Each structure stands twice: as structure tokens, then as C-alpha cells.
Amino acid sequence: MELYIGSDHRGQELRDYIYDELQKEGYQIFKTTIPTTPDDDYPDFAFDVCTSVTKNKANLGILICGNGIGISIAANKVKHIRCARVVSEEDAHHAKNHNGANVVAFGGLSKAEALKIVKKFIETPMPTEERHIRRIEKILKYEEGTYNGL
């Protein structure tokens, strides 16, 4: 598993903190190389991180902007990305274990809270219950244009 992290200028300090902490713990984590500037655009960071996440099904992404909403919307435009905006450890758990999220997005959190959320996301297993898998498969089929359930 590889981790990818990116943020716009509003999340740069939090991004760097999480990156450093996860690196200390031995995680294989990569930071986006797109420079942050006061005029940067969050979709660029979402597309960069999510493109890397899609290279391997085991990869995960972490995105940070002012509040996590815009960057999560952009992330979900990348094929095979299921990004959830999260604000708690419980959100992170459900996003991954129930919804198969491979990317989380947030913003406006303390360093301590953000790190706890990210660790919960990383440590939570992907779905194994049939009902969750069935729902994720419907999303994947719709994304591929093969869902006929409507």
C-alpha cells in the first residue's frame, strides 16, 4: 500500500504535519509535487493525488483544503475514486469499511484530530460484508456505464 497526500494552500501546514508523522511511523507516503501558492486551485491537487491512487487498488489518498468539500468533489471525478469528506474517526471508518472509500478529504481540523482520522482510515479494512460489496459494485458498474438497475 502506498499513501498519497495533497492539499491546496489552505491545507499545506496540516498536509506537511500528517506527511511527517506518517513517515516517522514507517508508512510509504508521497506528497504531491504541485507547488502551493495563494492562487492555487484545489482540483489540481485532487487530480494529482487520485491519479496516483488509481495505479494500485491497495493505494489510499488523503486530501486537504479549507473544509474538504471542494477537493472531495473534484476527487470523485477521477475514475475509480471513492472519496469521502470526513470530520471524525467514525466517518473515516464508515467511509472505508462500508463505502470502500480509497480517498478521504477534510479541512479545518486540529493536527491531532486530523492525524487520528487519517490513522483510523488507514487501519480500517475494506468492506467484507456482502451488502456493502454489492453497493460498491453498483457504483463501479454505473461508473463503467454498465449498471442497468434503474
What is the phi/psi pair of residue 108, to 5°?
70, 25
| Closest alpha carbon to 4 in 82, 62, 84 | 62
Separation of alpha carbons 63 and 65, rounded Å:
7
Query: Is position 94 annotated as part of the catalytic site?
Result: no
* Contact in structure between 146 and 138 (CB atoms under 8 Å): no
Query: Is position 93 annotated as part of the catalytic site?
Result: no
Q: Which amino acid belongs to residue 134? A: R
- Active-site hit among 93, 94, 98, 132: 98
Separation of alpha carbons 113 and 43, rounded Å:
24
- Active-site hit among 65, 83, 94, 132: 65
83: left (phi over 0), alpha (psi -120 to 50) or beta: beta
Which residues participate in catalysis according to the annotation?
A: 65, 98
